[in-house]
Amino acid sequence: MSLTRFLPTPSDRMGILWSLLSIEESVIIEYGPAGTTHFSVSLFGELDIEQKNRLYTTHMSEADVVMGDATRLEKAIKEVDKNNKPKVIFVVASSVAAVIGVDIKGICNYMQSEVNARLVAFDQGGFRGDYSAGVKEAYKMLANELVVDTDKRDENTYNIIGASLWSYRMRSDINEVKRLLFEAFGLKMKACFCSDTSIEELEKAGEATLNIAIQKTAVEASKILETRFNTPYVYGMPYGYEGTLQWLQQISSVIGKEINPKVVGELREKIGMSKQYQMYKRMLRRDIMQATVIGEYDTVVGISDFLQQLGIEINYKICTHSLKGIDADREDVIFLKTEKETIDIVKEAKKEMVLADDTMLSLADDSNTKLRIAPPVIKGMVLARHLPLAGIYGADYVLEYVQQYVQTLK
Amino acid sequence: MNGKELLEKLGKLRQTTCIKDVKPLTDALFPGAHCPLMGSAMAVRGIENSMIVVIGTDECSYYTKHMTLHSEEFGGIFGRCVSVVLDSRDVTFGSKKKIEEAMKELMEEYKPEAVFLTTTCVVEIIGDDMDMIADSLTEKYNVPFLAVHTEHFKCENHMPGLERTITACLSIMEPQEKENTVNVLGQRMGSFRTTELCRILKENNVEIGLQLPSGCSVEDIKTAPKAKLNVVVHPIALPLAKKMKAKFKIPYVFFNKFTRPENIYKAYEELFECLNIPVTEEIKQLYEKAKRISDEAKKQLNGITYIYGNTPFDSMEFNQFMVEEGMKPLVIQLSEYEGERDKNEIAAILEKADPYVAKSANIAPLQYIYDVLKPNLYLGHEFAARLRKKGIEIVHSDKASGLLGFEVTFFITEELLRASKEARELRKAMGEN
């Protein structure tokens, strides 16, 4: 079970890169062979992440590898500091640098006195787990190192933590979270870790009155900010109508503010309307309403719970990244170590709802009703920023597919 | 960034003796050169019924597979590019066992006729003996497994990946009875079948045999030694041609993607001599036409300045062509420098100009030297709209990937004329002469 047929799960290093690339006023210097950087350009372009003047490579020669000469990196750091004048330079090790044991942190330490930009080292190199570990490290580092000490409070503001642009429809989800929190409480977003943000926004994140960890990978960073600034946090992304209401109630109790009754009314109405699916379930004579859900941890948990509330049995809840290190608390969500195990499960699915990424959806039998909920996107591209999976709009969208699915059953 | 300071760091062509004299514009590069892993994938793409197995990190495997997703030749997501992803344990204890397990699955599911085990930087650093692994897998499955080494820290761009992949094909080739066919080696992009050279060969009853890497099967490679001649259409195929000459006694002719009519005619002459066919009247007429067209273009191209980036042509030969047209190179970007091989071309360029030389694939700092050098044209991949704002027209040459023979001269002369005319109009619109 060692063959990878499709796109492998991105590495920790890749997660770090797409997180940091989303931060204006900073520059990433990759220390490694240039080909990796050039190769990565198309992926980051697909994720709609700006790379111009934000991403550089040093390249690496055989002499650098054999002799451990880091002059190239030193020169590149000085040059970027002088030419680009970024507030922060993130120095990211390549897999080659990691394997030969280049002391990236040490280099950043002794180079710090020679440059104006803040130097921040990432020495993971792609060998400390998959991207879930990488984005988690990035959020932690930003919470620890970049958020500036402050006693100031910017009332009615919050930070979003855990906005990984790899996640399917993340920008739409962020917009839905922003919409809901404004309509429900009049709250405004201050900083977003790490989607379309800037060093300045992140530096001021300590002034927010609430942190929302929208993915499990963001909980540790939220705890860091809680310790540093006494800022409470709420973990969770709102999926489904009941899930969204519970999420708002949770926030309400933390910030001590009532939810706008209009929002509660809308949600209660939708919850009532969606009860009809339980009735469908009882009316079925031949088939049963069932689903297989494959994707990132929080999406799988949230959407599975929503489907179960509608009366759909979930056969498998499969997380596509490692559960190690994110303190996953749901035992019903599994991580399969090999691609083959997931393929076998998907191929078995008949007359189910299959919610997954493009590859797995392609493998699923056409008797299933299929919905893309996870990366990577292979067919077409994501353009919209107003079509979430989360929140009320997201639940409406998922429900449309449930309705399609129900119509295939007897 | 200060464009003048950037230029001060660069050397001139006259002082250049080796690739180390060719400095990058900056130490921090973007996007940097492509890696030989990509080159290897490009080569395997054209070999039907074969598979590429990327042996490396999740990242290298991801990007390579990503590159193949929309490739009809590769077969998309379910296609002929797969990987063995190494983790920290494999890096410590070696990848042999994991590769063997993976190849068992591969052979059961895909049933390939040949498998390219393409290594990446990390595998080469940890020193896994991929040649030995490939040999043992070949023996076990009775299917050729070919190790291709693609560590990027030992080379400058993706070309060695193409070169090593097609050179590895030698081990698939089997002795054959000689036939009246000609192999085409090194056609890395586009189809040889649509080229002028192919048409002329066919019209002279020359049967085309193997076309490696674009458009062949594993069976074609096996039977390639039946050919009486190899036509090498890109330097990436020279090592294979030399090995085939030594092993199977097949001579070769180097018919590169030349732009100068003289070079193209010489290549035709050499080719036809090897085929024992007199050079045809059509070739002579095409030669005269190419000379006439390039001569006529001199009036329009004289004095046009340019920065050379990256084209499908041989860098020095094409620059010689442009210099002979009266154009003035300001910067030539290179990823390799072969002073001895290209001495005539370099001497011809230096007779008229002494441009700066810079490492290629670093477009970010170019913006700053445009303002200093104010070239009329940029040849290579850049953002056309951004260039036009600075009064520079881009020369599109990718289409030439599928051309060979005098059609190359016709195409590029026309494109240079178009771009020069546009560049003049841009300058006029900007109030400059």
Average pLDDT over residues B335-352: 95
What DSSP assignment string belongs to B121-164?
HHHHHHT--HHHHHHHHHHHHSS-EEEE---GGGSSSSHHHHHH
> Does the B36-171 domain belong in CATH 3.20.10.10?
no
Summarised one tens digit per residue, pLDDT across range A5-56 is: 999 999 999 999 999 999 999 999 999 999 999 999 999 999 999 888 899 9
| CA atoms of A371 and A402, how far apart (whole Å) | 10
CATH number at residue A244: 3.40.50.1980
At residue B54, does pLDDT exceed 70? yes
Quick check: A95 and B36 CB within 8 A? no
Range of the domain at A50: 12-129
pLDDT band at A202 (very low <50, low <70, confident <90, very high): very high
> Does the B173-274 domain belong in CATH 3.90.1150.10?
no
Give percent above pLDDT 90 in chain A: 93
At residue A358, does pLDDT exceed 80? yes
Q: Which of B31, B61, B103 sits opposite A41 (nearest CB)?
A: B31
Q: Looking at the structure, tell me whether residues A18 and A112 fall in a common domain.
A: yes
Q: Looking at the structure, tell me whether residues A232 and A288 fall in a common domain.
A: no
Q: Looking at the structure, tell me whether residues A293 and A323 fall in a common domain.
A: yes
Question: Which of B322, B290, B248, B241 has the alpha carbon at shortest distance from B409?
Answer: B290
What's the confidence (pLDDT) of residue A50?
86
What's the confidence (pLDDT) of residue B190?
85
Q: Which residue has the higher pLDDT, B215 or B61?
A: B61
Work out how many CB contacts closer than 8 A connect A with B. 183
Q: Looking at the structure, tell me whether residues A262 and A282 fall in a common domain.
A: no
Query: Is position A125 within any domain?
Result: yes
Quick check: A37 and B30 CB within 8 A? yes
At residue B432, does pLDDT exceed 80? no
The count of structural domains within chain A is: 3
Start and end residues for every CATH 3.40.50.1980 domain found in chain B: 3-30+290-429, 36-171, 173-274
Average pLDDT over residues B113-139: 96
Quick check: A76 and B28 CB within 8 A? yes
What's the confidence (pLDDT) of residue B217?
97
Sign of torsion, CA B276 B278 B282 B284? positive
Q: Which of B35, B91, B98 sits opposite A39 (nearest CB)?
A: B35
Report the DSSP pairing between strands B356-359 and B11-12.
antiparallel
Check residue A312 and report its DSSP letter: P
At residue A125, does pLDDT exceed 90? no
What's the confidence (pLDDT) of residue B299?
96
Question: To probe the interface with A, which of B60, B65, B153, B386 has the most A CB atoms within 10 Å?
Answer: B153
Average pLDDT over residues A222-230: 98
What's the confidence (pLDDT) of residue B431?
85
Query: Is position A42 within any domain?
Result: yes
Q: Looking at the structure, tell me whether residues A318 and A372 fall in a common domain.
A: yes
| CA atoms of B240 and B166, how far apart (whole Å) | 7
| Contact predicate B257/B312, CB 8 Å | yes
What is the number of other CB atoms lying within 10 angstroms of the CB of residue A45?
12
| CA atoms of A381 and A359, how far apart (whole Å) | 14
| CA atoms of A216 and A237, how far apart (whole Å) | 9
What's the confidence (pLDDT) of residue B25?
93
Average pLDDT over residues B156-166: 95
Q: Which residues of A92-111 are buried (b: 16+ CB within 10 A; e: fewer)?
A: bbbbbbbbbebebeebbeeb
Q: Looking at the structure, tell me whether residues A249 and A288 fall in a common domain.
A: no
What's the confidence (pLDDT) of residue A209?
97
Report the DSSP pairing between strands B305-308 and B328-334.
parallel
Summarised one tens digit per residue, pLDDT across range A257-269 is: 999 999 999 999 9
What's the confidence (pLDDT) of residue A1?
61
Summarised one tens digit per residue, pLDDT across range A139-167 is: 999 999 999 999 999 999 999 999 999 99
- Quote the minimal CA–CA distance from A288 to chain B in Å: 31
Query: Is position A194 within any domain?
Result: yes
Residue ranges of E strands in B58-106: 81-85
Q: Which of A35, A61, A127 sits opposite B33 (nearest CB)?
A: A35
Average pLDDT over residues B205-229: 96
What's the confidence (pLDDT) of residue B433?
59
Question: Which of A203, A192, A6, A170 has the alpha carbon at shortest distance from A87?
Answer: A203
Query: Is position A146 within any domain?
Result: no
Query: Is position A7 within any domain?
Result: no
Q: Looking at the structure, tell me whether residues A256 and A336 fall in a common domain.
A: no
Q: Looking at the structure, tell me whether residues A181 and A86 fall in a common domain.
A: no
Q: Give the tokens for residue A214.
A: 């929208």
The last residue of one of the domains, among A232, A252, A270, is A270
Nearest CA in chain B to A83: B1
pLDDT band at B159 (very low <50, low <70, confident <90, very high): very high
| CA atoms of A388 and B238, how far apart (whole Å) | 54
| Chain B positions in Cβ-Cβ contact with residue A33 (cut-off 8 Å) | 35, 121, 151-153
- Quote the minimal CA–CA distance from A159 to chain B in Å: 30
Q: Looking at the structure, tell me whether residues A266 and A278 fall in a common domain.
A: no
Give percent above pLDDT 90 in chain B: 92
Summarised one tens digit per residue, pLDDT across range B169-186 is: 999 999 999 998 999 999
- As a whole number of Å, the CA-based R_g of chain B is 23
Q: Looking at the structure, tell me whether residues A162 and A241 fall in a common domain.
A: yes
In degrees and rounded to multiples of 5, residue A38 shows phi and psi of: -60, -40
Average pLDDT over residues A114-142: 95
Summarised one tens digit per residue, pLDDT across range A296-351 is: 999 999 999 999 999 999 999 999 999 988 989 899 999 998 999 999 999 999 99
At residue B215, does pLDDT exceed 90? no
Q: Give the tokens for residue A313.
A: 């049995």
- Quote the minimal CA–CA distance from B160 to chain A in Å: 13
pLDDT band at A399 (very low <50, low <70, confident <90, very high): very high
Query: Is position A150 within any domain?
Result: no
Q: Quick one: fold of B3-30+290-429?
A: Rossmann fold (3.40.50)
**Chain centre to alpha carbon of residue A205:** 19
Query: Is position A88 within any domain?
Result: yes
Query: Is position A168 within any domain?
Result: yes
| Chain A positions in Cβ-Cβ contact with residue B27 (cut-off 8 Å) | 58, 72, 75-76, 79
Nearest CA in chain A to B84: A3
At residue A76, does pLDDT exceed 70? yes
Instruction: Give ipTM to 2 decimals.
Output: 0.95
| CA atoms of B433 and B430, how far apart (whole Å) | 9
Summarised one tens digit per residue, pLDDT across range A167-201 is: 999 999 999 999 999 999 999 999 999 999 999 99
- Quote the minimal CA–CA distance from A279 to chain B in Å: 40
A405 Cβ neighbours under 8 A, 6+ residues apart = A289, A353, A369
